[in-house]
Amino acid sequence: MVGVRGPHRPARELVGVARAALDAGLRCVVHDRVDVALVVGAGVQLGERSVSPDEARALLPAGAWIGRSCHDLAGVLAAVDAGVDGITVSPVAPSPGKPPPIGFARFGALSHEAHARARARQRGVTVFALGGVDATNVGDAVAHHADGVAVVRAWLEAEDPSPVVTALLSSFVE
């Protein structure tokens, strides 16, 4: 899944990037821009200060993927109760410009709570680890019940991103 994010980028530019991802056959979510997601037919990833999942659901077509970014148990449980498809919990490891990390053990506890709450509501949820995740610690994310990871810096700053992406993906292939 590709996340298109550009808080200060014009909508037209985000539409172009999202369309390119979708045209390449990739699943795409747009961060905090329900308007862009609606235009291109993508899912949306909502921050805690964004519109609510219910507000996004009212605008997007039925079945559109809706995710929520969370940082604590209250946010995680609220996201599950709102019926989101995915939850991104961050930061799990040290990451420049981000608050102190919660650590992988705490991430695991939050992931467990999210899955338990979703099961009680007879639905599923995907939980992603974000923030400081790279090839050296992605195994920790997997060991602590991450269904996936959201990674930016590890591949973006790599001289050759291919081996980084390969290492990250191999952690989820048995």
Element of type H or E holding 127: strand 126-130
**Local structure of 147: helix, strand or coil:** coil
d(CA 155, CA 17): 18
* Residue 85, SS3 per DSSP: coil
Tens-level pLDDT at each residue, the chain (174 residues): 889 999 899 999 999 999 999 999 999 999 999 999 999 999 999 998 999 999 999 999 999 999 999 999 999 999 999 999 999 999 999 999 999 999 999 999 999 999 999 999 999 999 999 999 998 999 999 999 999 999 888 888 888 988 888 888 888 775
The per-residue pLDDT for 88 is 98
Residue with tokens 């530019």: 13
Residue labelled with tokens 């995915």: 86
Query: What's 65-170's CATH class?
Result: alpha beta
Token output for 169: 């993906």
pLDDT of residue 174: 59
The side-by-side arrangement of strands in the sheet containing 28-31 is 2-4, 28-31, 43-46, 66-70, 86-89, 126-130, 148-150
| Rounded-to-integer distance, Cα 153 and Cα 132, Å | 8
Half-sphere exposure of 38 (CA within 13 A, CB side): 11
Helix boundaries (H) for 44-93:
53-59, 73-81
Q: Which single residue is written with the structure tokens 């991104």? A: 88
| CA 11 vs CA 47, 49, 107, 157: distances in Å | 17, 19, 33, 25
What does the pLDDT read at residue 66? 98
Q: Where in the chain is the domain with CATH 3.20.20.70?
A: 65-170
pTM of structure = 0.92
CA distance 128 to 138: 11
Type of residue at 80: V
